[in-house]
Amino acid sequence: MSDSIAEQINEVDEYADLKEMILAESEIIATDISYEDFLKTEYGYFHVEWAYGMVIKMPGIQLAHNLLTAFLERFFVIYFELAQTDGLILHDPALMRSLDKLPRRAPDLQVLLPENRDRFQGVETVGPADLVVEIVSKGSQRTDRVTKFREYEKGGVKEYWIIDPLYSETLFYQLNDEGIYERMELDQEGKYHSKVLNPLVLPVALLWQDDLPGIRETLAMVEAMLKAAE
């Protein structure tokens, strides 16, 4: 399959609108780059992703973004450890190739269940991650909320979390039986219940604390969560 932008845009009408969205909203730093060459090439200090022969420069991350990513990774790691479940957590720059005709994205976090660990091959997840988290940065509002939403839905990512520190907003989506994302509401206590990582429960308000939970506090929180689910 050719990697030229024009040929790829005309190749599959199903994805033409998605490709046009990416062209309109993205800062392109290289074109007509095959995915194989993309994997071999250094792009300096840029945070980049690949889509339809284009190398896309992604927004830089700020402190809030970094702290939230670190906390959620810690949260997932401790959950898998205490639940004695051999899941895998990956972070940027690990790539995800959910479908061959979709962009290769580097989500802030990817979670793979034990039965899907082998989807991670070398530098990328071949097939959809079970759960993806994107932390919104300045400049990535539309990409995370619209473009990547559509990509992850089409690619079969079972659960998609959008965490927006700019507006203290969380959006949680789960894939239904028809392959469509449904937005999930919090319970009466303001907690989100994951379907992919059942019985994992996230108290959303803690994401907006001045100091996010450290290792000990996260450990105690996950222990209490698992005990309550027994």
Paired sense of beta strands 159-164 and 201-203, if any? unpaired
- 116 secondary structure, DSSP code: G
Sequence-distant (≥ 6) Cβ neighbours of residue 124 within 8 angstroms: 94, 95, 96, 97, 104
Closest CA to 196 of 134, 110, 69: 110
pTM of the predicted structure, to 2 decimals:
0.86
Rama region for 49: left / alpha / beta (φ>0; ψ in -120 to 50; rest): beta
Q: For the chain, which domains are there?
A: 5-57 (no CATH), 63-228 (3.90.1570.10)
Q: In this predicted structure, what is the pLDDT of residue 63?
A: 86
Helix (H) or strand (E) holding 56: strand 54-57
pLDDT by residue for the chain (230 residues), tens only, comes to: 344 544 544 444 577 888 888 888 888 888 899 988 998 888 866 788 898 888 888 877 788 999 999 999 999 999 999 998 999 999 988 999 998 889 999 999 999 999 999 999 988 999 999 999 999 988 889 999 999 999 999 999 999 999 999 999 999 999 999 999 999 999 999 999 999 999 999 999 999 999 999 999 999 999 999 999 98
Residue written as tokens 């619209």?
Answer: 146
Q: In this predicted structure, what is the pLDDT of residue 8?
A: 46
Q: In this predicted structure, what is the pLDDT of residue 58?
A: 82
Beta-sheet strand order (sheet of 27-30): 27-30, 54-57, 48-51
